[in-house]
Chain A
Amino acid sequence: DADVTQTPRNRITKTGKRIMLECSQTKGHDRMYWYRQDPGLGLRLIYYSFDVKDINKGEISDGYSVSRQAQAKFSLSLESAIPNQTALYFCATGTGSRETQYFGPGTRLLVL
């Protein structure tokens, strides 16, 4: 969905490096999510935010942190990257009681 953008689209980094993945949306949604996708495991929730002042851990938050800089921006950080964080990362947005989540194009991360 072009209304949800992620940067960078691809990233190679080394073990121990700090990296940040960014997500922006123009849909005006209040809720934003970070997922990681691994082959055979589907998507798993890392963190979610229901508004700027609300941040919540998801199923697999260890090793990650997030920042909701504005309603439209939600960043995911890996403080010290490790190889098993190699994955495809998706940002999603949603709103309302009958929420449908809309996904960004993904960031492919390789940690060497």
Chain B
Amino acid sequence: AQSVSQHNHHVILSEAASLELGCNYSYGGTVNLFWYVQYPGQHLQLLLKYFSGDPLVKGIKGFEAEFIKSKFSFNLRKPSVQWSDTAEYFCAVRNSGSARQLTFGSGTQLTVLP
């Protein structure tokens, strides 16, 4: 079965620090990749997505992610975080053989200190 790993469970940064959250998946075929964000008390919102083409994807609020097929990775980055980025971040993967189901990682809680 497909799995998605987010190795960083809780990340604490100061404002203006750079961010990189890891996401690795297990499926070897064609994949669609997503990052969602969940602000405290809110529902999941899409940050960015990758279907094909340029492996460097830019999303909302200054986030970007890079798909590295050889490493089965889709890491999320932001050059300078803000206090308002405090949230939980979820990586999700859909593979071509999974009846279009999304598999989510366990999430990374990001805390940005002012």
Contacts and interface: CB of A to CB of B under 8 A. Distances in A.
13 contacts: A1-B45, A33-B102, A35-B104, A42-B104, A43-B90, A58-B101, A90-B44, A102-B46, A103-B43, A104-B43, A105-B42, A105-B43, A106-B43
Interface string A65-105: 00000000000000000000000001000000011111111
7 A-B pairs with least C-beta separation: A42-B104, A103-B44, A43-B104, A42-B106, A105-B43, A103-B43, A42-B107
A interface, how many residues as a size bin? 20 to 34
Main secondary structure of the interface of A (DSSP, over half): strand
B7 interface: no
Interface of A: 1, 31, 33, 35, 40-45, 48, 50, 56, 58, 90, 98-106
Contacts of A42: 4, 6, 90, 104-107
Contacts of B32: 98-99
B69 interface: no
Interface of B: 4, 6, 9, 32, 34, 36, 42-46, 49, 51, 90, 92, 94, 99-102, 104-107
Given A40-B106, A98-B51, A90 B43 contact: yes
A45 B107 CA distance: 15
A100 B46 contact: yes
A37 to B, nearest CB: 9
